[in-house]
Structures are given as structure tokens and as C-alpha cells.
Amino acid sequence: MTADQAGAANPGRDEHARLVAEIEAASDAYYRDGSSPLSDAEYDALLSDLRALEEQFPALVTPDSPTQRVMGKAYTDFAAYDHLQRMESLDNAFSEEELSAWFDRVLRETGTTPELLCELKVDGLAINLLYEDGRLTRALTRGDGATGEDVTPNVSTIDSVPRRLTGTKEFPVPALVEVRGEVYLPTAVFEEINEQQAAAGKPLYANARNTAAGSLRQKDPRVTASRRLTMVCHGIGAREGFEPKAQSQGYAALAAWGLPVSEKVRVLGSVEEVRGYIDFYGEHRHDTAILDHEIDGVVVKVDDVRLQRALGSTSRAPRWAIAFKYPPEEVHAKLKAIEVNTGRTGRVTPFGVMEPTKVAGSTVEMATLHNFHEVARKDVRPGDTVILRKAGDVIPEILGPVLALRPDDLPAWVPPTTCPACGTELVEQREGDKDRRCPNHRDCRAQVVERINHVAGRGSFDIEGLGAEAAIALHESGAVANEGDVFDLTADKLLATPLFTRAAKRSEVEAGAGERVLTANAEKLLANLADRKDVPLWRVLVGLSIRHVGPTAARALAGHFASMDAIRAASQEELAAIDGVGGVIADAVIEWFGVDWHVEIVDKWAAAGVSMEDERDGSIEQTLEGLTVVVTGGLDGFTRDSVKEAIIARGGKAAGSVSKKTDYVVVGENAGSKAAKAEELGLRILDEAEFVKLLDGGTAAMD
């Protein structure tokens, strides 16, 4: 029987297979690392579609169908509880200079050379255990530091976590104590799990940390137990009946009570010894004979509790502790090929395809090579053994070849001369440009799809439901010719796009619907498109994909001109004179609006109801006029975008870097080196509550 005959004999089979694949991919992702490509509503909608299809075609129902198993939702809403004492974050040091600055401040403010406790920064999931009268009563994830999720049944399956504390004469069990620690998956267990995945023909888990996080959020504690998680303690929160005089004494108490404490903790008497500790574990961070878990740095704490109190804390982190983060990890990898892709502005970017290689805790198969000039400068060739790094421990990057391992007569890579997506000859945008670009901006499929996807991005219109897959599907079906058509999408156009349709239920067909109807995601996309037409002007500007015009320049343009018409009518000199714009961006704006089909995009959006101007709110007092404010880290009451908008709306400048010209630095959760630099420069540092006061009353409110 042919495939066509099989499909005819089993109507709905292809649709059933697609739905099952999407549902199981979402479930696997969640159980693997605690995340899912689908929202709760999207998952439920798919499951509902599957049930409807199986009702229509009962022959499709099998025992292993998601509708026949207890799968529930893509994630479980665990109950939330407040920590008795806030779980603070740690400030980070990424260099010797930043670590030295912290040391110097501690010495200066304490007037002494304190003993320093060093411990390994385990790459796991932070947990808070509450013991009352020695009995484990609750286990919470860190959450936002103030409130965490209750994972007590799952934590209770971890062998290293005692259900009841023991006591000694020196350290009797306290009436109440919060124990802070890190849950992690031992390296050997993680590798064993991946071997089982490979043997079963299933995808490998990316890294131990995400696998541990997903394991701890299982709905069935028996699954958590099977993952063989473990824990190490690194602190004490709220307590009654116990007051340690030193951090190390607290750790001794934890061990006496039967809790797991790292054997690698050291109390050291000098900065030189601390650096030796950091260097040693930096060299042996993947030596399984020394460590049974992944680490990403070393935590240094002032040991004396009296001095800890004297040093105090910021709004988010103790000033008596710091986390030294190891630099990006470098490994060797085999380069199989160099390929290229075309981005939304026509830039053609080379990237390396490698044999799967583990770096910084995850498996990497592709890495950037930046541009053709860099490939030539580094002389990277397919077949080379290359040095691979995860820049910032996030973006894989090829640093160069290991020439001693290069095979004889290995040919140099010859870059393409035409666009891989549309075949147009590549050009330099300007003489000496390091990039090669496809000049077919209007019709190159890769560029158009990337621009459609960009319109929906968080930095632009932030349209939920219009991602990369949707952009490809809409363009292929002809529903969207380019980004100008995005806001003209209708139900009829989505019905022509298979991704957004499903087989109609019997009742729907009887009611007059066609064989295919819109999915819940399609309906949601139409609603989101209508909702996102009224966004600030700067977001519209970002969505146009004008070269060099990102959020910062877009905010400057929108803040000065307040309307798209005014920006289009402005001269190069007027544009260049705006703080945050300058000549290069001004040229790019003039050049972009000089293209007819670009202007057509703006006109289409305007005709579809997209807002093309910002109403100047005269009711907002210009409390920050003339002030430069830097915000680093996360704030509870603001998003990254809204905090900038709040500053700009009040006449201030939202800067991205700290300098002597900065007036205020606002420090939130997980602040990095900007906070340390602000202290070093003696700048005024604000927590979130003080920042709100500044917004309301300006400098007068800070006196």
C-alpha cells in the first residue's frame, strides 16, 4: 500500500502525528530542564485538538497517545510561600581587578585583615529548607528571593537531605532554622542519564544544571527520586536558638545536625591564599577525581559574623561576600564545515559546524565566526581542530585553529559569492566593509522572514505567537509578503497557512465550518496583533529594521520628534544633532526612508492602525531633567524596557555604562560589575525603593 493509500485509509493520521509530536516535545522539554516551548494555554489547546481529532477518528487512539496517559499540563503550579528571611543574591567579580576592589573595600571598611571563607560555587538550583523542632516542614526554591515554590515532596526524595536533624552537645538542634543550599546532579549521574538517553535513541540533555532543575519540578516525586539528586549546604537564614560567631561555625553546626556540607570549604588568612584556592579549582573544575559536580566559580565570604554585620548588605546582596566567576571556558573541537546564513539586514554570517563538543557545561555543535574577514584573519578551515569558547558562558565562538593539529594540505575555506537564500551576488555595503551582504533586501526570502520575526521580537512590538516558525509559515503560504503585511493578517489569511489550522470537529462541520478551522494559537495571534498596534513610537522604529537603529537610538529619535512624520521629514543635520543618534545613524535613517518600498511598510502599518506618534504627557513632571541614571540588575516593579521609559519620560538619560558623569546607579537583583564600578567611583547608589522616590521627586527627594 502506498503512503497516499495509507493516508486515505487512516484519515486524520498526519494531523494526529503532528499534534502528538508537538505535545510530547513540549512535555520532554519540561521534564528535561524545567522549561517548555509552549505556554500552559497553548499546551491545553493542542491536547484539546488531539482529543477532538480522536473523537472524530477513533481508530487513531492508541494506548500511548497523550490523551490516554496522565500527563497533565506542561508545568505544575507549585504553591508559593515566603521565605522567613530573604534569600539574597551575590555580587559577581569577573576579573582579578574586580576581586581586588572588593578585597580593598573590605580591608578599608573593617580596618583589619579578616579571615576569609572560600567555597565552590556549585552550578545547581538554590533551595531553602525549613526545619522546625528538627523536622523538615518545608522546602522552597529560591524564586525571587522573597517567595519560593514548595517542592517539599520532591526534596524529601533526596538522600542527602535529612528529614530530621540530629544534635550534639556543642550544637543542639535549634527550635527553627532555614538552611540554604544548592541541589545538583552529580556529573557521573548526568553522564549515565545521557548514556541511557542515547541507548534509547532519545535527545541528550544539554547540561546537568537544567536537568537538575527539571528533576526537582516533577509532578511525581518518584521521578525525582530516580534522578539521584544531591545537595550541599552553604548558609543559614532565619533561626531561633542558634547564633554562630563565624560562617565556618555555622557550617560546623550544619554538619553536626546531619546536613551535607562541602569538604572543599577553607578558611584562609590572606588574599594570596584565596587566589591560590581560586586558581587551583579553576584548573581542576572538570576533574572528576576532585569534584563530583560542575562549578562556575568560587564564593568568598568574610568569616567573622560581627564583621559581616558591620559591612552590611545592599538591597539585594551582602557586602561581605562576593562570587568570583571563572572566565569563559575554552576547549578543542573538530570543525566539520563552515556554513553561512543571511540575516534581516542582508548580512551574511559564517558559522562553524562541529562535532558535538561539551563546553561550559553544555553540548555545542555550532559556533559563530562573525564575518568573512574574521575567517580569513584566523585562517580557520573545515577539518581543523579549533579552539572553542562560550563567550560570556552563553554564545559559542571559534577563536582560531590549533595549527599543530592541522592535517597536511588542508585547503582554505572559500567564501560564497552569492546569497545562500536567493542566489543574489554578495557585495560590500561600503568599501572596506568586513561583512558581505545580500543587496536583495526586498525579495530575499531569508531577510524577509527574519524581518517578520524581528517585528514580533521583545525589543519591538513583542507579539506573542509570531515567532520564527510562524514567520516562515506565513511567508511560505503567501499570507505575508513582507513585514508590511503583518498587521493586515485576517482569519482568512491564516486559514491559508497550515500551521494555524486544524481539522474541524464534527460539530463544527455540521455547523457550517469547513474541513479546516483556526487553531487556538491562530485566534490568539489575531488578538495579540490587534492589541500591539498601540505601542510606543520607539518600538515601531525598532520594528522597521533600520540599520544601526536599536532601542537606544529609537528612544532618542522618538523622544525628540514624537511622530513618524517628523522623523521622515527631518534632515541629516537635525537627526545627527540628537544626543544618542549621531552621524552614522542619521545617515542610515535618511537612506532607509529614501527607499520607496520601505515607506510602503510604514504606510501599510499606519493604515492598519499602528500608532505612529507618541502623545507627550504633560502631566509627567520632568524630575530627572539633566540627570544620567544607570540601572543594573533586575527590579521587581519594572521590566528592562519600562525602567528606561520611566527615566526618559521624566527627562533623564538612561545610560548603559557607569562613568564619572553618572548621577545615580540603581542596583537590582543579579547586578554585575556596574555596581562595583559605581562603588569604586563613589557614585550615589540607589535600591529600588529609593529609585521610585527619585522618579517621583527628583534630587530634592534624595536629600
**Annotated active-site positions, please?**
121
Contacts of 557-565 with CB under 8 Å at 24 or more apart are 557/581, 557/589, 558/614, 559/648, 562/537, 562/613, 562/614, 562/616, 563/537, 563/612, 563/613, 563/614, 564/537, 564/540, 564/602, 564/606, 564/612, 564/613, 565/612, 565/613
Region of 387 please: left (phi>0), alpha (psi -120 to 50) or beta.
Answer: beta
Kindly compute the dihedral angle of the four CA atoms of residues 643, 452, 550, 525, in this order, to the nearest 10 degrees. Answer: -10
**Set of cell numbers at residue 550:** 536599536
Q: Which DSSP state fits 418?
A: B
Q: What is the dihedral of CA 623, 629, 631, 635, to 10 degrees?
A: -10
Please provide residue 555's backbone torsions phi and psi, each rounded to the nearest 5 degrees.
-65, -40
Which DSSP category does 39 fall into?
A: -
> 442-448: which pairs have CB atoms within 8 A and are 24 or more residues apart?
442/482, 442/597, 444/342, 444/346, 444/419, 445/421, 445/475, 446/341, 446/342, 446/343, 446/419, 446/420, 446/421, 446/422, 447/342, 447/343, 447/344, 447/345, 447/346, 447/421, 448/475, 448/481, 448/482, 448/483
Cα–Cα separations (whole angstroms), residue 180 to 84, 140, 210, 234, 623:
12, 10, 19, 6, 41
Query: CA–CA separation, 25 vs 33, rounded Å?
Result: 12
Distance CA 125, CA 185 (A): 10
- Residue 233 CA to residue 225 CA, distance in Å, equals 19
153: Cβ contacts below 8 Å, ≥ 6 apart: 221
Q: CA dist 640 to 118, 459, 581, 644, 668, Å?
A: 33, 10, 21, 7, 11
Answer for the pair 598, 581: CB distance below 8 angstroms, yes or no.
no
Q: Give the three cell numbers for residue 331.
A: 576547549
